[in-house]
A and B are shown apart, each in its own frame.
Chain A
Amino acid sequence: MAEIFKVLIVDDEPGMRSGVSRILNDFTVSLPDIKSEIKFQVIEAETAESGLTIIESQRPDILFLDNKLPGMSGLELLNIIAEKKIDILTVMITAYASLDTAVEATKNGAYDFLAKPFSPAEIKHMVRKACNRIVYKRQAKNLAEERKRVRFQFISVLAHELKSPLAAIQGYLNIVSDRVLGNELSVYDNVINRSLIRLDGMKKLIFDLLDMTRIESDQRRREFAQVNLCELAQKSIEASALIAKQQNIAINLDVRDDVVMQGDHTEIEIILNNLISNAVKYNKPDGKVDIKIAADDKKVVISVSDTGIGLKEDEIGKLFKDFVRIKNEQTRNILGSGLGLSTVKKLAQLYNGDISVKSEFTKGSCFTVELLKNSQEVLRDESSGNNILFKAD
Protein backbone atom coordinates (compact mmCIF):
# COMPACT_ATOMS: atom_id res chain seq x y z
CA MET A 1 0.00 0.00 0.00
CA ALA A 2 1.35 3.35 -0.99
CA GLU A 3 0.74 6.50 0.95
CA ILE A 4 -0.23 9.54 -1.10
CA PHE A 5 1.34 12.93 -0.44
CA LYS A 6 -0.37 15.91 -2.04
CA VAL A 7 1.96 18.30 -3.82
CA LEU A 8 0.74 21.75 -4.80
CA ILE A 9 2.63 23.67 -7.46
CA VAL A 10 1.91 27.38 -7.66
CA ASP A 11 3.47 28.86 -10.80
CA ASP A 12 2.12 31.13 -13.52
CA GLU A 13 4.02 29.27 -16.28
CA PRO A 14 1.85 26.37 -17.51
CA GLY A 15 4.96 24.54 -18.80
CA MET A 16 6.53 24.57 -15.37
CA ARG A 17 3.35 23.20 -13.74
CA SER A 18 2.83 20.39 -16.20
CA GLY A 19 6.54 19.55 -16.05
CA VAL A 20 6.48 19.09 -12.28
CA SER A 21 3.21 17.15 -12.55
CA ARG A 22 4.67 14.83 -15.13
CA ILE A 23 7.80 14.11 -13.12
CA LEU A 24 6.04 13.52 -9.80
CA ASN A 25 3.05 11.55 -11.05
CA ASP A 26 5.27 8.55 -11.78
CA PHE A 27 7.65 9.10 -8.90
CA THR A 28 7.80 6.89 -5.81
CA VAL A 29 9.76 7.48 -2.65
CA SER A 30 10.53 4.72 -0.18
CA LEU A 31 11.99 5.60 3.17
CA PRO A 32 13.67 3.21 5.58
CA ASP A 33 11.62 4.56 8.51
CA ILE A 34 8.19 3.75 7.12
CA LYS A 35 6.93 0.59 5.56
CA SER A 36 4.74 2.00 2.81
CA GLU A 37 5.97 3.78 -0.29
CA ILE A 38 5.06 7.37 -0.93
CA LYS A 39 3.39 8.37 -4.18
CA PHE A 40 2.31 11.84 -5.22
CA GLN A 41 -0.82 13.59 -6.31
CA VAL A 42 0.01 16.92 -7.93
CA ILE A 43 -2.38 19.87 -7.77
CA GLU A 44 -1.71 22.93 -9.92
CA ALA A 45 -2.45 26.59 -9.26
CA GLU A 46 -1.69 29.59 -11.46
CA THR A 47 -1.79 32.31 -8.80
CA ALA A 48 -0.99 32.66 -5.08
CA GLU A 49 -4.65 33.51 -4.45
CA SER A 50 -5.98 30.30 -5.97
CA GLY A 51 -3.11 28.43 -4.32
CA LEU A 52 -4.25 29.65 -0.91
CA THR A 53 -7.78 28.43 -1.55
CA ILE A 54 -6.43 24.99 -2.43
CA ILE A 55 -4.12 24.98 0.61
CA GLU A 56 -7.05 25.70 2.91
CA SER A 57 -9.45 23.25 1.33
CA GLN A 58 -7.19 20.34 0.36
CA ARG A 59 -4.34 20.62 2.84
CA PRO A 60 -1.44 19.58 0.60
CA ASP A 61 1.70 18.22 2.26
CA ILE A 62 4.27 19.89 0.04
CA LEU A 63 4.14 23.25 -1.74
CA PHE A 64 6.33 24.29 -4.64
CA LEU A 65 5.93 28.03 -4.74
CA ASP A 66 7.12 30.45 -7.39
CA ASN A 67 7.96 33.87 -6.01
CA LYS A 68 7.20 36.01 -9.08
CA LEU A 69 3.49 35.70 -9.59
CA PRO A 70 0.80 38.02 -10.94
CA GLY A 71 -1.05 39.56 -7.97
CA MET A 72 0.06 38.23 -4.62
CA SER A 73 3.74 37.19 -4.55
CA GLY A 74 5.11 33.89 -3.33
CA LEU A 75 6.67 35.52 -0.29
CA GLU A 76 3.34 37.11 0.61
CA LEU A 77 1.63 33.73 0.42
CA LEU A 78 4.39 32.31 2.59
CA ASN A 79 3.61 34.98 5.20
CA ILE A 80 -0.07 34.09 5.19
CA ILE A 81 0.78 30.39 5.66
CA ALA A 82 2.99 31.30 8.62
CA GLU A 83 0.33 33.57 10.13
CA LYS A 84 -2.37 30.96 9.81
CA LYS A 85 0.02 28.34 11.19
CA ILE A 86 -0.76 26.00 8.32
CA ASP A 87 1.31 22.83 8.44
CA ILE A 88 2.80 22.58 4.96
CA LEU A 89 6.33 22.12 3.74
CA THR A 90 7.22 24.87 1.28
CA VAL A 91 9.97 24.86 -1.34
CA MET A 92 10.47 28.21 -3.07
CA ILE A 93 11.05 28.29 -6.83
CA THR A 94 12.38 31.25 -8.68
CA ALA A 95 14.03 32.10 -11.95
CA TYR A 96 16.08 34.77 -10.27
CA ALA A 97 17.91 32.69 -7.77
CA SER A 98 19.41 35.12 -5.38
CA LEU A 99 20.67 34.70 -1.89
CA ASP A 100 18.37 37.50 -0.67
CA THR A 101 15.17 35.78 -1.71
CA ALA A 102 16.42 32.51 -0.32
CA VAL A 103 17.21 34.04 3.06
CA GLU A 104 13.93 35.96 3.10
CA ALA A 105 11.95 32.84 2.23
CA THR A 106 13.59 30.56 4.78
CA LYS A 107 13.13 33.29 7.40
CA ASN A 108 9.44 33.13 6.63
CA GLY A 109 9.22 29.41 7.04
CA ALA A 110 10.20 27.95 3.67
CA TYR A 111 11.95 24.63 3.98
CA ASP A 112 14.28 24.98 0.99
CA PHE A 113 14.94 26.65 -2.29
CA LEU A 114 14.99 25.44 -5.90
CA ALA A 115 16.45 27.61 -8.67
CA LYS A 116 15.04 27.58 -12.19
CA PRO A 117 15.86 25.92 -14.44
CA PHE A 118 16.06 22.62 -12.61
CA SER A 119 16.36 19.06 -13.85
CA PRO A 120 13.92 16.21 -13.08
CA ALA A 121 16.65 14.70 -10.92
CA GLU A 122 16.89 17.90 -8.89
CA ILE A 123 13.17 18.10 -8.19
CA LYS A 124 13.07 14.40 -7.32
CA HIS A 125 15.93 14.88 -4.93
CA MET A 126 14.12 17.80 -3.33
CA VAL A 127 10.87 15.85 -2.99
CA ARG A 128 12.67 12.93 -1.39
CA LYS A 129 14.28 15.32 1.10
CA ALA A 130 10.89 16.91 1.79
CA CYS A 131 9.29 13.51 2.40
CA ASN A 132 12.00 12.60 4.85
CA ARG A 133 11.41 15.82 6.69
CA ILE A 134 7.63 15.35 6.82
CA VAL A 135 7.88 11.77 8.03
CA TYR A 136 10.42 12.74 10.65
CA LYS A 137 8.22 15.60 11.88
CA ARG A 138 5.20 13.35 11.99
CA GLN A 139 7.04 10.71 14.02
CA ALA A 140 8.33 13.34 16.43
CA LYS A 141 4.79 14.64 16.87
CA ASN A 142 3.40 11.15 17.47
CA LEU A 143 6.12 10.48 19.99
CA ALA A 144 5.40 13.72 21.83
CA GLU A 145 1.69 12.91 21.92
CA GLU A 146 2.37 9.41 23.11
CA ARG A 147 4.57 10.78 25.90
CA LYS A 148 1.86 13.22 26.92
CA ARG A 149 -0.69 10.42 26.98
CA VAL A 150 1.49 8.09 29.02
CA ARG A 151 2.29 10.88 31.45
CA PHE A 152 -1.37 11.73 31.92
CA GLN A 153 -2.26 8.11 32.43
CA PHE A 154 0.56 7.66 34.93
CA ILE A 155 -0.57 10.67 36.96
CA SER A 156 -4.21 9.54 36.96
CA VAL A 157 -3.24 6.12 38.24
CA LEU A 158 -0.86 7.62 40.77
CA ALA A 159 -3.57 9.96 42.06
CA HIS A 160 -5.90 7.00 42.44
CA GLU A 161 -3.23 4.94 44.22
CA LEU A 162 -2.63 7.77 46.68
CA LYS A 163 -6.31 8.53 47.18
CA SER A 164 -7.30 4.95 48.01
CA PRO A 165 -5.24 4.62 51.22
CA LEU A 166 -6.28 8.12 52.27
CA ALA A 167 -9.95 7.22 51.85
CA ALA A 168 -9.43 4.00 53.81
CA ILE A 169 -7.66 5.80 56.67
CA GLN A 170 -10.28 8.54 56.68
CA GLY A 171 -13.01 5.92 56.86
CA TYR A 172 -11.38 4.21 59.83
CA LEU A 173 -10.87 7.50 61.65
CA ASN A 174 -14.53 8.34 61.06
CA ILE A 175 -15.48 5.03 62.63
CA VAL A 176 -13.44 5.83 65.72
CA SER A 177 -14.72 9.40 65.78
CA ASP A 178 -18.35 8.23 65.49
CA ARG A 179 -17.74 5.57 68.17
CA VAL A 180 -19.38 3.05 65.89
CA LEU A 181 -18.18 0.19 68.08
CA GLY A 182 -18.79 1.91 71.41
CA ASN A 183 -16.54 3.74 73.84
CA GLU A 184 -14.05 0.98 74.66
CA LEU A 185 -10.74 1.77 72.97
CA SER A 186 -9.55 -1.82 72.65
CA VAL A 187 -12.33 -2.77 70.23
CA TYR A 188 -10.76 -0.37 67.75
CA ASP A 189 -7.42 -2.23 67.68
CA ASN A 190 -8.00 -3.70 64.25
CA VAL A 191 -9.27 -0.37 62.92
CA ILE A 192 -6.11 1.37 64.09
CA ASN A 193 -3.87 -1.44 62.91
CA ARG A 194 -5.36 -1.41 59.41
CA SER A 195 -4.98 2.38 59.25
CA LEU A 196 -1.30 2.07 60.10
CA ILE A 197 -0.84 -0.62 57.45
CA ARG A 198 -2.39 1.63 54.81
CA LEU A 199 -0.19 4.52 55.94
CA ASP A 200 2.90 2.34 55.56
CA GLY A 201 1.75 1.31 52.13
CA MET A 202 1.39 4.92 51.12
CA LYS A 203 4.85 5.73 52.43
CA LYS A 204 6.30 2.84 50.48
CA LEU A 205 4.56 4.02 47.32
CA ILE A 206 6.09 7.46 47.71
CA PHE A 207 9.59 6.05 48.25
CA ASP A 208 9.29 3.71 45.27
CA LEU A 209 7.98 6.58 43.21
CA LEU A 210 11.02 8.66 44.10
CA ASP A 211 13.32 5.78 43.13
CA MET A 212 11.57 5.46 39.82
CA THR A 213 11.45 9.14 38.93
CA ARG A 214 15.12 9.48 39.72
CA ILE A 215 15.89 6.72 37.27
CA GLU A 216 13.54 7.98 34.60
CA SER A 217 14.32 11.68 34.77
CA ASP A 218 18.07 11.11 34.32
CA GLN A 219 18.44 13.77 37.01
CA ARG A 220 20.49 11.53 39.17
CA ARG A 221 24.10 11.32 38.17
CA ARG A 222 24.90 7.71 37.59
CA GLU A 223 28.13 6.94 39.33
CA PHE A 224 29.84 3.97 37.79
CA ALA A 225 32.21 2.00 39.93
CA GLN A 226 33.10 -1.56 40.65
CA VAL A 227 30.17 -3.14 42.48
CA ASN A 228 30.61 -6.28 44.56
CA LEU A 229 27.39 -8.24 44.20
CA CYS A 230 27.98 -10.50 47.18
CA GLU A 231 28.29 -7.55 49.54
CA LEU A 232 25.23 -5.81 48.10
CA ALA A 233 23.13 -8.98 48.24
CA GLN A 234 24.03 -9.48 51.89
CA LYS A 235 22.97 -5.91 52.60
CA SER A 236 19.62 -6.48 50.87
CA ILE A 237 19.07 -9.70 52.79
CA GLU A 238 19.59 -7.79 56.04
CA ALA A 239 16.96 -5.26 54.97
CA SER A 240 14.39 -8.06 54.63
CA ALA A 241 15.62 -10.09 57.60
CA LEU A 242 13.03 -8.86 60.08
CA ILE A 243 10.00 -9.88 58.02
CA ALA A 244 11.73 -13.13 57.06
CA LYS A 245 12.29 -13.94 60.74
CA GLN A 246 8.67 -13.21 61.63
CA GLN A 247 7.51 -15.66 58.98
CA ASN A 248 10.33 -18.12 59.63
CA ILE A 249 11.56 -17.83 56.04
CA ALA A 250 15.08 -19.06 55.29
CA ILE A 251 17.18 -16.99 52.87
CA ASN A 252 20.09 -18.69 51.11
CA LEU A 253 22.67 -16.82 49.13
CA ASP A 254 24.80 -18.59 46.55
CA VAL A 255 27.42 -16.27 45.13
CA ARG A 256 31.18 -16.21 44.83
CA ASP A 257 32.49 -13.32 46.89
CA ASP A 258 34.51 -11.99 43.94
CA VAL A 259 31.62 -11.44 41.52
CA VAL A 260 31.87 -7.81 40.46
CA MET A 261 30.43 -5.61 37.75
CA GLN A 262 30.63 -2.02 36.59
CA GLY A 263 27.54 -0.29 37.85
CA ASP A 264 25.89 2.35 39.92
CA HIS A 265 25.79 1.17 43.51
CA THR A 266 22.33 2.59 44.24
CA GLU A 267 20.77 1.10 41.11
CA ILE A 268 22.07 -2.41 41.71
CA GLU A 269 20.96 -2.13 45.31
CA ILE A 270 17.40 -1.21 44.23
CA ILE A 271 17.33 -4.27 41.96
CA LEU A 272 18.45 -6.64 44.71
CA ASN A 273 16.26 -5.02 47.37
CA ASN A 274 13.13 -5.27 45.25
CA LEU A 275 13.72 -8.86 44.19
CA ILE A 276 14.61 -10.10 47.66
CA SER A 277 11.92 -8.21 49.54
CA ASN A 278 9.32 -9.48 47.05
CA ALA A 279 10.52 -13.06 47.51
CA VAL A 280 10.07 -12.66 51.28
CA LYS A 281 6.80 -10.71 51.17
CA TYR A 282 5.04 -13.01 48.74
CA ASN A 283 6.28 -16.15 50.45
CA LYS A 284 4.51 -18.47 52.87
CA PRO A 285 5.35 -19.06 56.54
CA ASP A 286 8.33 -21.45 56.88
CA GLY A 287 9.17 -20.82 53.23
CA LYS A 288 12.49 -20.45 51.48
CA VAL A 289 14.25 -17.84 49.34
CA ASP A 290 17.16 -18.89 47.14
CA ILE A 291 19.37 -16.18 45.69
CA LYS A 292 21.85 -17.25 43.05
CA ILE A 293 24.27 -14.82 41.46
CA ALA A 294 26.47 -16.11 38.67
CA ALA A 295 28.69 -14.36 36.17
CA ASP A 296 30.72 -14.99 33.06
CA ASP A 297 33.04 -12.44 31.44
CA LYS A 298 30.14 -10.58 29.79
CA LYS A 299 27.16 -10.67 32.09
CA VAL A 300 25.83 -11.19 35.58
CA VAL A 301 22.75 -13.32 36.17
CA ILE A 302 20.82 -12.79 39.38
CA SER A 303 18.05 -15.25 40.10
CA VAL A 304 15.81 -15.10 43.14
CA SER A 305 13.36 -17.91 43.71
CA ASP A 306 10.77 -18.31 46.42
CA THR A 307 8.34 -20.91 47.71
CA GLY A 308 5.51 -18.42 47.86
CA ILE A 309 2.07 -17.86 46.44
CA GLY A 310 3.16 -17.96 42.79
CA LEU A 311 1.52 -16.36 39.80
CA LYS A 312 -1.20 -17.28 37.36
CA GLU A 313 -0.44 -17.24 33.64
CA ASP A 314 -2.42 -14.06 32.99
CA GLU A 315 -0.81 -12.27 35.92
CA ILE A 316 2.70 -12.77 34.56
CA GLY A 317 1.94 -10.75 31.45
CA LYS A 318 1.18 -7.54 33.28
CA LEU A 319 3.61 -7.95 36.15
CA PHE A 320 6.29 -5.55 34.95
CA LYS A 321 4.02 -2.61 34.21
CA ASP A 322 3.73 0.45 36.43
CA PHE A 323 1.28 0.18 39.33
CA VAL A 324 0.34 -3.40 38.60
CA ARG A 325 -0.35 -5.30 41.77
CA ILE A 326 -1.77 -8.75 41.79
CA LYS A 327 -4.86 -8.47 43.93
CA ASN A 328 -6.17 -11.56 45.63
CA GLU A 329 -6.82 -12.98 49.05
CA GLN A 330 -3.13 -13.85 49.47
CA THR A 331 -1.83 -10.38 48.64
CA ARG A 332 -4.48 -8.49 50.58
CA ASN A 333 -2.28 -7.78 53.58
CA ILE A 334 1.00 -7.38 51.72
CA LEU A 335 2.24 -3.87 51.24
CA GLY A 336 3.26 -2.95 47.75
CA SER A 337 3.26 0.05 45.48
CA GLY A 338 3.08 -1.80 42.20
CA LEU A 339 6.25 -0.03 41.14
CA GLY A 340 8.96 -2.41 42.38
CA LEU A 341 9.17 -4.80 39.45
CA SER A 342 8.61 -2.16 36.79
CA THR A 343 11.51 -0.26 38.35
CA VAL A 344 13.70 -3.37 38.28
CA LYS A 345 12.87 -3.85 34.61
CA LYS A 346 13.75 -0.24 33.78
CA LEU A 347 17.02 -0.57 35.66
CA ALA A 348 17.90 -3.87 34.01
CA GLN A 349 17.38 -2.24 30.63
CA LEU A 350 19.85 0.48 31.60
CA TYR A 351 22.38 -2.34 31.83
CA ASN A 352 21.43 -3.78 28.42
CA GLY A 353 19.67 -6.51 30.34
CA ASP A 354 16.19 -7.63 31.19
CA ILE A 355 14.05 -9.41 33.75
CA SER A 356 12.09 -12.63 33.30
CA VAL A 357 9.98 -14.84 35.53
CA LYS A 358 9.03 -18.47 35.82
CA SER A 359 6.23 -19.24 38.17
CA GLU A 360 3.84 -21.88 39.35
CA PHE A 361 0.63 -20.74 41.01
CA THR A 362 0.59 -21.55 44.75
CA LYS A 363 4.09 -23.09 44.47
CA GLY A 364 6.45 -20.16 43.99
CA SER A 365 8.22 -17.91 41.51
CA CYS A 366 11.72 -17.44 40.20
CA PHE A 367 12.78 -14.02 38.93
CA THR A 368 15.90 -13.76 36.81
CA VAL A 369 17.68 -10.52 36.02
CA GLU A 370 20.51 -10.36 33.51
CA LEU A 371 22.85 -7.39 33.51
CA LEU A 372 25.75 -6.62 31.25
CA LYS A 373 28.92 -6.32 33.28
CA ASN A 374 30.24 -3.40 31.27
CA SER A 375 27.16 -1.72 29.82
CA GLN A 376 28.91 1.67 29.70
CA GLU A 377 31.57 0.37 27.33
CA VAL A 378 28.96 -1.06 24.99
CA LEU A 379 27.13 2.25 24.99
CA ARG A 380 30.25 4.23 24.16
CA ASP A 381 31.26 1.74 21.56
CA GLU A 382 27.90 1.97 19.83
CA SER A 383 27.87 5.74 19.81
CA SER A 384 31.43 6.04 18.55
CA GLY A 385 30.66 3.65 15.74
CA ASN A 386 34.00 1.86 15.80
CA ASN A 387 35.51 -1.09 17.48
CA ILE A 388 37.72 0.61 19.99
CA LEU A 389 36.64 -0.12 23.53
CA PHE A 390 36.76 2.92 25.72
CA LYS A 391 37.50 2.24 29.30
CA ALA A 392 35.08 3.72 31.79
CA ASP A 393 36.75 6.60 33.57
Chain B
Amino acid sequence: MAVSKKILVVDDDPDILEQVELVLKANGYDVATAGSAADAEEFLTATQPDMVVLDLMMEQMDSGFVLCNQIKKLYSNMPVIMLTAVSASTGLGFDIRTPEAKSWIKADCILDKPVRAEELLNSVRKLFQA
Protein backbone atom coordinates (compact mmCIF):
# COMPACT_ATOMS: atom_id res chain seq x y z
CA MET B 1 0.00 0.00 0.00
CA ALA B 2 1.21 3.46 -0.89
CA VAL B 3 2.18 5.84 1.89
CA SER B 4 -0.72 8.25 2.43
CA LYS B 5 -0.30 11.86 1.46
CA LYS B 6 0.33 14.33 4.27
CA ILE B 7 -1.78 17.50 4.35
CA LEU B 8 -1.19 20.46 6.67
CA VAL B 9 -4.39 22.29 7.66
CA VAL B 10 -4.15 25.85 9.04
CA ASP B 11 -7.05 27.72 10.65
CA ASP B 12 -7.39 29.75 13.83
CA ASP B 13 -10.78 28.26 14.67
CA PRO B 14 -10.17 24.89 16.37
CA ASP B 15 -13.52 23.55 15.18
CA ILE B 16 -12.94 24.35 11.52
CA LEU B 17 -9.55 22.68 11.93
CA GLU B 18 -11.24 19.65 13.43
CA GLN B 19 -13.78 19.48 10.59
CA VAL B 20 -11.27 19.62 7.76
CA GLU B 21 -9.18 17.05 9.60
CA LEU B 22 -12.19 14.72 10.00
CA VAL B 23 -13.05 14.90 6.31
CA LEU B 24 -9.49 14.33 5.12
CA LYS B 25 -8.68 11.56 7.62
CA ALA B 26 -11.92 9.74 6.83
CA ASN B 27 -10.69 9.63 3.24
CA GLY B 28 -7.29 8.22 3.95
CA TYR B 29 -5.12 11.30 4.17
CA ASP B 30 -2.56 11.92 6.86
CA VAL B 31 -3.33 15.27 8.54
CA ALA B 32 -1.31 17.74 10.58
CA THR B 33 -2.91 20.90 12.00
CA ALA B 34 -1.73 24.38 12.93
CA GLY B 35 -3.79 26.99 14.78
CA SER B 36 -1.90 30.01 13.52
CA ALA B 37 0.28 31.18 10.68
CA ALA B 38 3.26 31.14 13.05
CA ASP B 39 2.64 27.52 14.05
CA ALA B 40 2.30 26.61 10.39
CA GLU B 41 5.63 28.24 9.54
CA GLU B 42 7.31 26.39 12.35
CA PHE B 43 5.88 23.11 11.13
CA LEU B 44 6.88 23.80 7.54
CA THR B 45 10.52 24.47 8.33
CA ALA B 46 10.77 21.02 9.95
CA THR B 47 8.45 18.95 7.80
CA GLN B 48 7.40 19.07 4.19
CA PRO B 49 3.77 18.05 3.71
CA ASP B 50 2.31 17.18 0.31
CA MET B 51 -0.28 19.92 0.44
CA VAL B 52 -1.49 22.83 2.60
CA VAL B 53 -5.11 23.79 3.22
CA LEU B 54 -5.28 27.21 4.84
CA ASP B 55 -7.74 29.85 5.94
CA LEU B 56 -7.55 33.27 4.35
CA MET B 57 -8.11 35.30 7.50
CA MET B 58 -6.42 34.36 10.70
CA GLU B 59 -4.98 36.71 13.33
CA GLN B 60 -4.54 39.43 10.76
CA MET B 61 -6.65 40.13 7.72
CA ASP B 62 -3.99 39.03 5.29
CA SER B 63 -2.12 36.37 7.24
CA GLY B 64 -3.44 33.67 4.87
CA PHE B 65 -2.03 35.50 1.85
CA VAL B 66 1.29 36.05 3.56
CA LEU B 67 1.57 32.43 4.63
CA CYS B 68 0.60 31.25 1.15
CA ASN B 69 3.37 33.32 -0.41
CA GLN B 70 5.87 32.00 2.10
CA ILE B 71 4.91 28.41 1.38
CA LYS B 72 5.39 28.97 -2.35
CA LYS B 73 8.78 30.50 -1.68
CA LEU B 74 9.81 27.53 0.44
CA TYR B 75 8.32 24.81 -1.74
CA SER B 76 7.36 26.20 -5.10
CA ASN B 77 5.53 23.08 -6.20
CA MET B 78 3.46 22.57 -3.06
CA PRO B 79 -0.26 22.70 -3.85
CA VAL B 80 -2.16 25.17 -1.66
CA ILE B 81 -5.92 25.33 -1.14
CA MET B 82 -7.26 28.50 0.39
CA LEU B 83 -10.52 28.51 2.30
CA THR B 84 -12.37 31.78 2.59
CA ALA B 85 -15.66 33.22 3.65
CA VAL B 86 -17.27 34.70 0.52
CA SER B 87 -15.44 37.82 -0.50
CA ALA B 88 -18.41 40.11 0.15
CA SER B 89 -18.23 39.38 3.87
CA THR B 90 -14.47 39.33 4.32
CA GLY B 91 -14.40 43.08 4.56
CA LEU B 92 -11.56 43.17 2.06
CA GLY B 93 -12.04 45.86 -0.49
CA PHE B 94 -11.53 43.63 -3.46
CA ASP B 95 -12.78 40.45 -5.06
CA ILE B 96 -10.17 37.74 -4.68
CA ARG B 97 -11.48 35.93 -7.74
CA THR B 98 -10.61 38.52 -10.35
CA PRO B 99 -7.75 37.51 -12.70
CA GLU B 100 -5.67 40.34 -11.27
CA ALA B 101 -6.07 39.19 -7.67
CA LYS B 102 -5.42 35.60 -8.66
CA SER B 103 -2.10 36.60 -10.21
CA TRP B 104 -0.70 37.63 -6.84
CA ILE B 105 -2.62 35.25 -4.61
CA LYS B 106 -0.51 32.20 -5.07
CA ALA B 107 -3.13 29.63 -4.03
CA ASP B 108 -3.84 26.86 -6.52
CA CYS B 109 -7.46 26.70 -5.53
CA ILE B 110 -9.83 28.96 -3.59
CA LEU B 111 -12.88 27.43 -1.90
CA ASP B 112 -15.75 29.24 -0.21
CA LYS B 113 -16.53 28.47 3.40
CA PRO B 114 -18.37 26.51 4.56
CA VAL B 115 -16.84 23.93 2.29
CA ARG B 116 -18.66 20.64 1.83
CA ALA B 117 -16.74 17.39 2.13
CA GLU B 118 -17.17 16.39 -1.52
CA GLU B 119 -16.05 19.76 -2.81
CA LEU B 120 -12.91 19.74 -0.68
CA LEU B 121 -12.06 16.14 -1.58
CA ASN B 122 -12.54 16.81 -5.29
CA SER B 123 -10.15 19.74 -5.17
CA VAL B 124 -7.58 17.75 -3.18
CA ARG B 125 -7.73 14.84 -5.62
CA LYS B 126 -7.52 17.12 -8.63
CA LEU B 127 -4.44 18.91 -7.29
CA PHE B 128 -2.70 15.65 -6.44
CA GLN B 129 -3.31 14.40 -9.98
CA ALA B 130 -2.03 17.55 -11.62
Question: A170 near B116 (CB under 8 angstroms)?
Answer: no
Is there a chain A Cβ closer than 8 Å to B101's Cβ?
A: no
Starting from the known contacts A174-B19, A178-B116, A180-B23, 19 additional A-B residue pairs (CB-CB under 8 Å) come to A163-B85, A164-B13, A167-B85, A168-B15, A168-B16, A171-B16, A172-B15, A174-B114, A174-B116, A175-B22, A178-B117, A178-B118, A180-B22, A180-B26, A194-B15, A194-B18, A198-B15, A327-B35, A332-B14
Which chain A positions have C-beta within 8 A of B14?
A: 332
Question: B116 near A168 (CB under 8 angstroms)?
Answer: no
Which parts of A196-243 form the interface with B (CB within 8 Å)? 198
- 5 nearest interchain CB pairs? A168-B15, A171-B19, A178-B117, A170-B114, A171-B114
Q: How far is the CB of B86 from chain A (nearest CB, A)?
A: 11
Which chain A positions have C-beta within 8 A of B89?
A: 163
Which chain B positions have C-beta within 8 A of A174?
A: 19, 114, 116-117
Query: What range describes how many residues of A lie at the interface?
Result: 10 to 19
CA distance A163 to B12 in the complex (A): 14
Q: List 21 A-B contacts (CB under 8 A).
A: A163-B89, A164-B13, A167-B85, A168-B16, A171-B15, A171-B16, A171-B19, A172-B15, A174-B114, A174-B116, A174-B117, A175-B19, A175-B22, A175-B23, A175-B117, A178-B116, A180-B23, A180-B26, A194-B15, A198-B15, A327-B12
Q: How far is the CB of A222 from chain B (nearest CB, A)?
A: 36
Q: How far is the CB of B9 from chain A (nearest CB, A)?
A: 13
Per-position contact with B for A145-164: 1 when CB-CB < 8 Å, else 0? 00000000000100000011
Which of A163, A167, A198, A332 has the most chain B CB atoms closer than 10 A to its own CB? A167
Which of B15, B19, B85, B89 has the most chain A CB atoms closer than 10 A to its own CB? B15
Which of A171, A178, A194, A327 has the most chain B CB atoms closer than 10 A to its own CB? A171
Please give me the residue from chain B that is nearest to A166 by CB atom. B114
Size of B's binding interface in residues, CB under 8 A: 19
Per-position contact with B for A329-341: 1 when CB-CB < 8 Å, else 0? 0001000000000
Q: How far is the CB of B113 from chain A (nearest CB, A)?
A: 6
Question: A167 near B13 (CB under 8 angstroms)?
Answer: yes
Which chain B positions have C-beta within 8 A of A332?
A: 14
Interface of A is mostly: helix
Is there a chain B Cβ closer than 8 Å to A181's Cβ?
A: yes
Interface of B is mostly: helix
CA distance A163 to B26 in the complex (A): 27
Is there a chain A Cβ closer than 8 Å to B91's Cβ?
A: yes
Please give me the residue from chain B that is nearest to A333 by CB atom. B14
Question: B19 near A172 (CB under 8 angstroms)?
Answer: yes
Which of A163, A170, A175, A194 has the most chain B CB atoms closer than 10 A to its own CB? A175
Question: A167 near B118 (CB under 8 angstroms)?
Answer: no
CA distance A178 to B26 in the complex (A): 12
CA distance A84 to B16 in the complex (A): 54
CA distance A170 to B117 in the complex (A): 12
Please give me the residue from chain A that is nearest to B118 by CB atom. A178
Which chain A positions have C-beta within 8 A of B12?
A: 327
Which parts of B19-62 form the interface with A (CB within 8 Å)? 19, 22-23, 26, 35
Which parts of A52-107 form the interface with B (CB within 8 Å)? none
Which chain A positions have C-beta within 8 A of B16?
A: 167-168, 171
Which chain B positions have C-beta within 8 A of A156?
A: 91
CA distance A295 to B115 in the complex (A): 56
CA distance A170 to B59 in the complex (A): 22
Which chain B positions have C-beta within 8 A of A171?
A: 15-16, 19, 113-114
Which chain B positions have C-beta within 8 A of A175?
A: 19, 22-23, 117
